[in-house]
């Protein structure tokens, strides 16, 4: 059973910050006509992304549509079935994995950071851990003994040490308590780089995102606004769809295809019979004309 975080006092709020060491080019990432999935099973296509510097892009869509798969494809863990991805100039990617697989269970909290940043002074490592609510004996804890929320904060602390300018986050608020979520929201809003993230937390999306990309079986749709704007546009689309359906329902129902085909065949047979009758009449008239001509010649 996963351990729960003990309630934190007001005096122990986290102080998360994310900063980048390098400024990226204006174009951060492009993706053209991509298909995502596993093997031959396509979850969504075509997907198109054009992510620009300083934007915060949230990926939304129904469960199972491939939001996490898209993230994993973008970082190279899962190959695209089709499509072309291109990172922009000076882009440095940092990735937050909701499975927390980057953590080593046998490490202490302190070693988890120190092993990856060996040239960083211990005091700086401890200060960074303290900003993410690991202080005193907390840094001596085994990673394997941490709760889900503690592991999430530790992984975010590692990410903050990397100073990347493009953060790709898969469900970053999972396991975090309300206070830590709010601190993370503020840290990402203040981040001087670019964000691409997946989250089921609508409040978090609405605070952080500047653009929404919706995934469906028929590909991606871009909405140039926050989550409230996205919901507003979806409501407008639904109202238009219902109005169109109502107009269509008021139209006379078209004849059944089979019945229509039978009627056409019946009409063709009728016309064929009429043609035969006319041809017979023409032949009879031709015969009468010939007889009259012969009679006229005989009288002359």
pLDDT in tens, 143-162: 999 999 999 999 999 999 99
More confident residue, 77 or 262: 77
14-43 mean pLDDT: 96
Farthest-apart Cα atoms in the chain, separation: 139
Domain 10-239: what homologous superfamily?
A: P-loop containing nucleotide triphosphate hydrolases (3.40.50.300)
Asked if residue 71 lies in contact with residue 59, where contact means CB atoms within 8 angstroms, the answer is: yes
Q: What is the mean pLDDT of residues 25-54?
A: 97
pLDDT number for residue 283: 76
Q: Could you read off the pLDDT of 78-104 as tens digits, one per residue?
A: 999 999 999 999 999 999 999 999 999
Using the 8-state DSSP alphabet, how is residue 75 labeled? T
* pLDDT for the residue 130: 96
189 confidence band (pLDDT: 50, 70, 90)? very high
Q: What pairs with residue 85 in β-bridges?
A: 31
Mean pLDDT of the chain: 91
Cβ neighbours of residue 96 closer than 8 Å, sequence gap 6 or more: 155, 156, 159, 167, 168, 169, 170, 172
Average pLDDT over residues 168-196: 97
Q: What is the pLDDT of residue 9?
A: 42
Q: What is the pLDDT of residues 238-294, one digit of tens each?
A: 999 888 887 766 666 565 667 788 788 888 888 878 777 877 778 777 777 777 777
pLDDT band at 166 (very low <50, low <70, confident <90, very high): very high
**pLDDT of 276:** 78
pTM: 0.78
Instruction: Output the six-digit token pair for 276.
Output: 């035969």
């Amino acid at each position: 059973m996963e351990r729960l975080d003990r309630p934190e006092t007001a005096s122990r709020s986290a102080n998360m910050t994310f900063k980048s060491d390098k400024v990226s080019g204006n174009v951060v990432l492009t993706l053209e006509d991509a298909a995502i999935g596993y093997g031959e099973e396509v979850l969504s296509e075509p997907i198109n992304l054009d992510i620009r510097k300083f934007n915060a892009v949230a990926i939304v869509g129904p469960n199972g549509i491939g939001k996490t798969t898209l993230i994993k494809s973008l970082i190279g863990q899962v190959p695209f079935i089709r499509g072309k991805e291109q990172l922009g100039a000076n882009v440095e990617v940092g990735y937050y994995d909701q499975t927390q697989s980057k953590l080593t269970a046998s490490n202490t909290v302190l070693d988890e950071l120190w092993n990856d940043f060996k040239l960083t002074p211990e005091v700086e490592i401890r200060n960074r851990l303290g900003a993410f609510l690991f202080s005193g004996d907390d840094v001596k804890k085994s990673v394997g003994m941490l709760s889900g929320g503690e592991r999430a904060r530790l992984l975010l602390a590692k990410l903050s040490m990397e100073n990347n300018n493009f953060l790709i986050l898969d469900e970053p608020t999972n396991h975090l308590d309300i206070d830590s979520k709010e601190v993370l929201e503020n840290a990402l809003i203040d981040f001087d780089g670019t964000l691409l993230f997946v989250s089921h937390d609508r409040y978090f999306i609405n605070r952080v995102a500047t653009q929404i990309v919706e995934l469906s079986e028929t590909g991606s749709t871009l909405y140039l606004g926050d989550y409230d704007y996205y919901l507003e546009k979806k409501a407008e689309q639904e109202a238009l769809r219902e109005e169109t359906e109502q107009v269509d329902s008021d139209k006379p129902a078209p004849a059944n295809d089979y019945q229509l085909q039978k009627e056409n065949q019946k009409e063709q047979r009728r016309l064929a019979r009429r043609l035969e009758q006319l041809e017979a009449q023409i032949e009879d008239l031709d015969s009468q004309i010939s007889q009259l001509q012969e009679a006229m010649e005989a009288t002359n």
